[in-house]
Amino acid sequence: MKVVIVGAGFGGLRLARKLNNKAGFEVVLVDKFNYHQFQPLFYQVATAGLDASNISFPLRKVFQKSKNVRIRLADLKSVVPDENKIITDIEEINYDVLVLATGADTNFFGNAELAAHAFPMKSTVEALQIRHRLLHLFEEAHTITDEDELQRAMNIVVVGGGPTGVEVSGALAEMKKYVLPKDYPELDFTKMNIYLLEGTGKTLASMSQKSSEKSQQYLEKLGVNVLTATLVKNYDGKNVELQDGNRIPAATVIWAAGIKGNIPNGIDHSLIARGNRIKVDRYCKVQGLQNIYALGDLAYMETPGFPHAHPQVAPAAIQQADMLAHNLLLIEKKANTDRLYAFEYYDKGAMATVGRNLAVVDVPKPKLHFSGFFAWLIWMGLHLMLILGVKNRFFVFMNWLYNYVTYDQNLRLIFREFNREESIKKKF
């Protein structure tokens, strides 16, 4: 059975590893990057807490000893279900079974101006762009003489009060408190404002009421201006325009307000559900198709426990991959289809960190809530275990330890773009 998996996120990579060296399978793993990205720690790369290599792991290294998994570095252009093939930017690949695990991208809700000026954070590259932007702003700020322009440069707006927005806001607040005044003594960081804008009435709306209240309390304690029930209408690169007519001058806006599925061309529009996700049955099979599946953020599966589909989080993608791997093994052996598993999501809980010694954790069964230092330890331990590679775990842990002891990070580096043509002109 030739299984083509598109996307090496949590779901796609998990499925490939489950089918690794299994007799009867030929697996092709397609991704536009040659590494797996650990998305929960993007915000630490963006705020110079971790190096990008610490949360990225080469795909070819994962499958160095594999006899049946092959990697293709390519961008999916289209799916052709009638011909059992996909078209990428480098080649056409035939399949017996296709698994779409392309994940989700930033949702700007059709606002082109927002997309042009706000900074998303859905990839390692985008996290590095935010880090580059922030460091450049502070380097340039001490040359700004106009008070209004200086204030605009010192204002950072984070849109979206979910886990990503809360975590990046807390990290920025800690940079403002512990790091930036030492790096830039000529700047008055009492004038620096960090705004967190959330359209609903509370932060971490998907978590418990206690977690929402605690997270907002922690953020305000760190000096973040939390504005709930606040919707962004537009951003032109200079001012954030709110729905109520107010404006916030800001040179930097980090957009963490929504995601949408990365649906390739060739998928029937009738199969696309809310959030730009593909409708699938309880076996992750795309409705109406016999040999195409969708996993993780891309899959829209309605179940009695989750009538509006499962949350777009890593555990759901991993559990779906485990279920699909089990079923494909049975299908390849031509076993009784009654033995196929139907997917049932086991919600182990949710968590978010705000800063040093500050985090919130919800466990649904038994119903428990933790906050503060103990929750922070749980958050760190779980994320450390989920990172691929012993070396990566070691370096992440050492960075966290160094940061905890010194109240500092050592990754505030600005790498300028190298223009080879200009360099040659200067030499000759």
> Contact 404/355 with Cβ under 8 angstroms?
no
- Report d(CA 121, CA 165) in Å as an integer: 10
Q: Is 126 marked active-site?
A: no
> Contact 130/43 with Cβ under 8 angstroms?
no
339 burial level (CB within 10 Å; 0-12, 13-18, 19+): exposed
Rounded to whole angstroms, the maximal C-alpha distance in the chain is 75
Pick from 292, 395, 285, 394: nearest CA to 343: 285
Distance of CA 288 to the CA centre of its chain: 30
Pick from 106, 105, 107, 112: nearest CA to 234: 112
Catalytic residue among 113, 147, 167, 186: 167
- How far the first Cα of the chain sits from its last, in Å, is 57
Pick from 50, 38, 66: nearest CA to 389: 38
Omega of the bond leading into 304 within 30 degrees of 0 (cis): no
The catalytic site residues sit at: 167
